[in-house]
């Protein structure tokens, strides 16, 4: 049977037997189940590539050039995208999802539902200095978007199901269902009602259950023994929060500068690959801790086996490097270098053509910073719990980068089981977020969107104005007069009009000026004045807008001029008028319409 017929019959059955709430609930569970399978498959592919290809074949024969493995993976990714992806592009980051919501009405092409499986697994599996979360969130969002398109749902429901896909992605990837929901509420769908939590929870929980059933659910950093929280450690947690906040500012700034530097190579993937790839290899050669997501480094730190970070690197040949004690400052200097260069390794991975996200690098950086702070102070005679500081450092950096404090707290608590750390987590996250926000108004995800004027999804007013559109509120029923006419002609126009503004046109339809009823009220009742030319009393409008202008820019004109009506031109000719009062009415109607629950 034809798929379209099956879909049509199902929709008829749905209309008859299912309410909108039940249907959205079912779709959210479906999205969660699909993303649970996709997330498990992604983790499986990365594991196979890491263990069988990278640690097996490549390390066995080519272990002395391990820092070139990521370039091998990125080269395959570029080849795959160039020859097997129709658009020759896979955008793999959360900003792309936000842009899709704000500028593309929650539409994401179907290629994003599967394209990242191969691209991100090859990038990360072969050692690229990035994470899987960005591609996973795009994948989940694409699944939600395409399912909503399949059933021709309203815009609000499309956005909700897109969010369900993103929540399911985080839940499946990190085994953290609560964090998945909070991530969406803090970053993706900042303008949703509390009732929308239900489908988000359905989707996130389903993804967690499915992923739990079909894949290995070991904790990301294994079992970590935590020490009891001490009130005396609070000042040092505040210090860690300040450091992670400042480092977040450094990361956001440097990533954007790197992207700006490489933007001139747009459309030249192989040139960017050779330049950025060479710099990536050099970074990993000097700092092997930058290899891969960074989770290996964090695991070794949490196990108390940080000396192993020097293994299989150029530092192995340094005399006595394998006998470094806990008091050694060489390890701290090495890790500080790793933290400072990690942002470049991540940028080079992305700019070279790799497919990955920033979450894993931020966890690596924050965890390493937490260890550096604790170990440095301990070397000076303090007694700080290094594992505790490592874990809360991850949350501090994540909060500073993403400007999502609740996500950072619950994510670290869920993936580590460190629920006893809630107080230090809140201290570090609050301090880091406040510090980062002081220097970065926007997060890593929204900085470039805001700079390009594309951050619509996070601004309710801009979002509504975009949905209304200028063309819907242009008024074309105003009576116009010609500049060659006289007051007598204006009086005739006034007798036909219900408005108090009159556009004055040339014979070719161009706008010469405008006349307000108040301008001629003292003349229209005196027939002796009827011969006065209109060109003598018309005046220029306070501003002119084009029919293609967005309502955002139109409202800026209204604010600057304090006018209530502005003329609209199309191809240089008079087209109509925009009224501030009509825009306000459309705004109120849109609010009333969209205040209805979608679930």
Residues 548, 583, single domain; the answer is yes
Q: Taking all residues of the chain, what is their mean pLDDT, rounded to a whole number? A: 85
Determine, yes or no, domain membership for 251. yes
Q: Is the model's pLDDT at 596 over the cut of 60?
A: no
Report CA dihedral (213, 214, 220, 224) to the nearest 10 degrees. 40
Do 477 and 367 have their domain in common? no
Does 571 reside within a domain? yes
CA distance 171 to 210: 10
Same domain, 172 and 244: no
Closest by CA position to 129, among listed 255, 247, 219, 45: 255
Domain tally for the chain? Answer: 3
- Cα(312)–Cα(479) distance, integer angstroms: 82
Q: Are residues 262 and 130 in the same domain?
A: no
User: Which residue would you say has higher pLDDT here, 130 or 550?
Assistant: 130
In a domain? residue 224: no
Contacts 24+ apart (CB under 8 A), 325-330: 326/375, 326/378, 326/379, 327/379, 329/379
Instruction: Output the pLDDT for position 124.
Output: 92
> Residue 590: what pLDDT?
66
Q: What local confidence, expressed as pLDDT, does residue 217 receive?
A: 64
Largest CA distance in the chain: 108
> Do 251 and 377 have their domain in common?
yes
Q: Report which DSSP code applies to 598.
A: -
Is residue 376 in a domain?
A: yes
CATH of the domain at 497: 3.10.580.10
**432, 547: one domain:** no
The whole domain housing 285 covers 231-456
Q: What is the pLDDT of residue 85?
A: 79
Predicted confidence (pLDDT) per residue in 157-169, tens digit: 898 999 999 999 9
Q: Which of 67-76, 324-333, 540-549 has the highest mean pLDDT?
A: 67-76
Q: Tell me if 115 sits within 8 A of 90, measured CB to CB.
A: yes
Q: Is 223 within the bounds of a domain?
A: no
Q: Averaged over 389-406, what is the pLDDT?
A: 94
pLDDT at 363: 94
Q: Which of 429, 456, 483 is the last residue of a domain?
A: 456
Residues 248 and 158 in one domain: no
Residues 6+ apart with CB under 8 A from 484: 507, 533, 534, 535
Average pLDDT over residues 559-572: 88
Question: What is the distance in angstroms between the CA of the first residue and the CA of the last residue of the chain?
Answer: 32
Question: Phi and psi dihedrals of 497, rounded to 5?
Answer: -95, 150
Tens of pLDDT along 6-51?
A: 656 655 555 454 556 788 888 999 999 999 999 999 988 988 888 7
454: pLDDT strictly greater than 70? no
254 and 112, same structural domain?
no
> Cα(471)–Cα(511) distance, rounded to whole angstroms?
19
| 266 within domain boundaries | yes
Strand order in the sheet with 511-516: 481-482, 501-505, 511-516
Residue 226 domain flag:
no
Q: Is the predicted pLDDT of residue 170 greater than 80, yes or no? A: yes
List, for residues 508-520, the tens digit of each pLDDT value. Answer: 888 999 998 888 8
The answer to whether residue 66 sits within a structural domain is: yes
Rounded average pLDDT over 195-211: 92
Q: Are residues 416 and 554 in the same domain?
A: no
Tell me which of 407, 433, 456 is where a domain ends: 456
In this structure, the answer to whether residues 545 and 528 fall within a common structural domain is yes
Last residue in a domain, options 398, 431, 456: 456
pTM: 0.81
Q: What is the pLDDT of residue 37?
A: 94
The dihedral through the CA atoms of 14, 19, 20, 26 has a sign that is negative
Looking at the fold, whether 170 and 247 belong to one and the same domain comes out as: no
Residue of 147, 166, 186 lying closest to 94 (CA atoms) = 166
Q: Could you report the per-residue pLDDT of 462-521, keeping only the tens digit for each? A: 666 666 667 778 888 888 999 889 989 888 888 888 888 999 998 888 899 999 888 888
Nearest to 455 by CA among 407, 403, 411: 403
We report the CATH number of the domain holding residue 396 as 1.10.3080.10
CA atoms within 13 Å, Cβ hemisphere of 9: 6
What's the rounded Cα separation, in Å, for the pair 540 and 563? 13
- In this prediction, residue 321 carries a pLDDT of 55
* Residues 451 and 522 grouped into a single domain: no
């Amino acid at each position: 049977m034809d798929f379209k017929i099956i879909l049509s019959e199902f929709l008829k059955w749905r209309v008859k037997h299912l309410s909108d709430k039940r249907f959205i609930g079912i779709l959210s569970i479906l999205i969660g189940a699909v993303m649970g399978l996709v997330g498990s498959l992604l983790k499986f592919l990365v594991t196979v590539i890491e263990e069988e290809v990278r640690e097996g074949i490549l390390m066995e024969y080519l272990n002395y050039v391990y820092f070139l493995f990521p370039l091998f993976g990125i080269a395959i990714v570029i080849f795959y995208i160039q020859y097997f992806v129709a658009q020759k592009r896979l955008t793999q980051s959360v900003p792309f999802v936000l842009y899709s919501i704000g500028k593309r009405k929650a539409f994401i092409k179907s290629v994003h539902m599967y394209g990242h499986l191969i691209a991100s697994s090859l990038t990360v599996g072969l050692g690229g200095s990035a994470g899987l979360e960005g591609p996973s969130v795009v994948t989940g969002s694409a699944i939600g978007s395409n399912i909503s398109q399949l059933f021709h749902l309203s815009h609000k429901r499309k956005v909700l199901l897109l969010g369900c896909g993103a929540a399911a992605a985080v839940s499946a990837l990190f085994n953290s269902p609560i964090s998945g929901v909070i991530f969406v509420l803090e970053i993706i769908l900042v303008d949703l009602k509390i009732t929308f939590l239900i489908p988000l929870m359905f989707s996130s929980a389903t993804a967690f259950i499915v992923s739990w059933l079909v894949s290995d659910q070991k904790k990301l950093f294994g079992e970590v023994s935590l020490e009891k929280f001490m009130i005396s450690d609070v000042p040092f947690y505040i210090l860690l929060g300040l450091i992670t906040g400042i480092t977040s500012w450094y990361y956001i700034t440097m990533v954007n500068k790197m992207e700006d530097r490489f933007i001139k190579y747009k459309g030249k993937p192989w040139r960017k690959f050779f330049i950025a790839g060479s710099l990536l290899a050099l970074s990993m050669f000097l700092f092997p801790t930058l290899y891969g997501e960074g989770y290996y480094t964090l695991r070794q730190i949490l196990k108390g086996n940080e000396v192993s970070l020097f293994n299989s690197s150029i530092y192995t040949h340094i005399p006595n490097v394998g006998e470094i004690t806990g008091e050694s400052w060489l390890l701290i200097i090495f890790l500080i270098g790793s933290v400072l260069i990690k942002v470049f390794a991540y940028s080079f991975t992305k700019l070279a053509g790799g497919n990955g996200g920033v979450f894993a690098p931020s966890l690596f950086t924050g965890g390493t910073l937490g260890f550096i702070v604790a170990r440095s102070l301990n070397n000076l005679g303090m007694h700080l719990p290094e594992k505790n500081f490592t874990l809360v450092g991850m949350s501090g950096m994540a909060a500073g980068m993403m400007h999502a404090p609740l996500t950072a707290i619950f994510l670290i608590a869920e993936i580590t089981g460190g629920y006893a750390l809630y107080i230090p987590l809140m201290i570090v996250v609050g301090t880091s977020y406040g510090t980062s926000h002081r220097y970065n108004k926007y997060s890593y995800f929204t900085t470039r969107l805001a700079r390009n004027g594309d951050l619509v999804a996070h601004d309710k007013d801009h979002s509504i104005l975009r949905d209304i559109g200028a063309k819907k509120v242009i008024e074309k029923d105003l009576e116009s007069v010609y500049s060659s006419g006289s007051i007598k002609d204006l009086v005739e126009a006034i007798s036909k009009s219900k408005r108090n503004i009159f556009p004055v046109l040339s014979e070719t339809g161009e706008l010469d000026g405008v006349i307000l009823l108040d301008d001629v009220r003292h003349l229209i009742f005196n027939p002796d004045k009827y011969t006065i030319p209109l060109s003598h009393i018309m005046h220029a409008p306070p501003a002119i807008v084009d029919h293609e202008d967005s309502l955002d820019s139109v409202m800026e004109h209204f604010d600057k001029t304090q006018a209530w009506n502005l003329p609209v031109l199309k191809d240089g000719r008079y087209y109509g008028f925009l009224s501030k009062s009509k825009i306000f009415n459309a705004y109120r109607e849109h609010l009333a319409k969209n205040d209805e629950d979608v679930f």
